[in-house]
Chain A
Amino acid sequence: MATVELRFSALPEHVRTARLVAAAVARRAGVDEAVLDEVRLAVGEACTRAVGLHQSSGITAPVKVLLIEEEKQFSIEVGDEAPRSAPGDKAPGSLGDDPDADTEEDEMGLAVISGLVDDVEVTAGEHGGSIRMTWPTTPPATPLS
């Protein structure tokens, strides 16, 4: 069950907001302070990729970020609605003026995510794709009663 859900128009200026919200919720969920920088970077990369996919495909729907707090783990799922004809395919319309640059940046973003996060799952289908990243959490100290 999602703890916090965020939707934002596919614009670069909103990616920072997504990073800030994700880091705040992750901290609350008990993700280690030392890992928060990685959470911030990974969610930023995933959102940047989703924004790029929406913009290049002319999709007006917002990018969706689910921040999911579970027992002993915290997950972030960034969903886009850019259709791929087969898993791993580029979204139609992404072949813009400079296809190489698009592909390179997309791959660099994924490279950063896979370098940072041990538990990551990338899916893509005809209705869009998602990146789900999971981090372990430490239970909060027993509250004073």
Chain B
Amino acid sequence: MVEGKILKVSGPLVVAEGMREANMFDVVHVGEQKLIGEIIEMHGDRASIQVYEETAGIGRGDKVVSTGAPLSVELGPGLIKNIYDGIQRPLESIRQKVGSNITKGISEPALDRSRLWHFETDLKFGDKVKAGDAFGYVSETEVIRHKILVPPTQSGTIVDIRSGDFKVTDTVGRLKLPDGTIVDIKLMQKWPVRVARPYTEKLPPVEPMITGQRSIDALFPIAKGGTACVPGPFGAGKTVVQHQLAKWSDVDIVIYIGCGERGNEMTDVLREFPELTDPRTGKSLMERTVLIANTSDMPVAAREASIYTGITIAEYYRDMGYNVAVIADSTSRWAEALREMSGRLEEMPGEEGYPAYLTSRLAQFYERAGKVICLGSDARIGTLSAIGAVSPAGGDISEPVTQATLRIVKVFWGLDSALAYKRHFPAINWLNSYSLYRDRLSEWFSDNVSKNWMDLTARCLKILQIESGLEEIVKLVGMDALSADDRLTMEVARSVREDFLQQFAFDEVDGFTQLDKQYALMELIFSFEDRARKAVAEGADIEKLVSLPVRERIGRAKSVPYATYKAEYEKIENEMAEQIAELVQACKED
């Protein structure tokens, strides 16, 4: 055990001497209170340590003890439904232990040591297992069957294994490695957070992650195993978008990382998710959620770690063959934590004071996402999708964090304050956002929703693009100057915006829209366009056309419940045909 003495304290950075024997990235205990820190630089026998807790009260001469192990997370049953801080300390147990404020130097195991889990296994003496195979199962929640995996570094022959009720630290069996050593099998294993968990092979993602958010699914879809970012100024609705994704995405597990954000937002998730039902399983949404909370008032160094803690837990569930989504809010705060540590280390700054390695660190994080063939004999497939919010300073996306992120991720949902001011939510700007998965996912959408899905969504994008051009003209010469056809284009574009893209997150029906209903809604809007265009050609008055009563019905179509939408939309369609026909008839008679 290496023990050194503190030389220097400057905020979250501590320098200790006498640390020659310690390893880089070892976890250390700092001072009498045993604050947790991590070695991030070595110079001779001096180690620079970033401390994950408030360092007030630490001084020269205090001792630093290395634990000899890198920063790791505990992986095993009991992760789901829990809320952790950036270095995986369970916040609920801490609350029960020390009250409602987080004091220093608390150590509390991440997984409940006293809880019994029922472990079931089909394996028996003499069975051969390799890395990534399942020893057995634990029902972690009503919806998650937790596979107890052979650690990625081991394989061998089962010497002893049994089903039964166990604590996470109990030995459920023993495994004989090829070199003859025998290791205990436990429900829990550890993994260093800065190392990506291995897999057999990475595959290109071809299936969409369905979010129920119309502007995302229809216009800018994300794939299962894909990466996306949501940049936007404050007040544009980043957090609501992230919450919606955490609530409604069709994945098995959601890891929500609140990184340097508001405490109340985490509380919101913590209090609201247990009340919400997952539309796919019928169970509470909390049954599939793990929360990592390092709020903005918590120590800044732990914010840096929180991203890695989150994604490592996500990889662990991916390795069981689940579809996992990691939602990080916000990666800008994480980058700021990097910047602060870099500044304290007196490194030469890159752009805007951020360290030169910002891009490579971001890339490392997002590259841990993907669709993979997991380790193990059954070659199961798991996906890990990563979605990061970015909070660009002043809402200006030319700043380094946004730009570095855009070079890596494949989907860009750009939030726009101008839309937010008009209360157009989600305020995803359709002109500059993009999804590089559109083509790759087109086959899935054609097979599973409708052959015309891609055409209709392309038509939405196109009409919005044309609208922005026409708007310029209107600003110069007024609406009157437009031809009837262009007037109609403007009206249909407005309909796409207001009746399709706008979605009220807090509404019971509107918060989540199934793909077939999304499709039907688009069909309804464009059916109006087709009929109206024909009517205009036949001489119908454009003013009368756009003020037909059926348009209000289209406007409210999104809030028709899923159960009845087919019949309802058909009625609207019929009314539309009738009203337009009447109008054309009346024109002809004039």
A and B co-occur in one complex = no
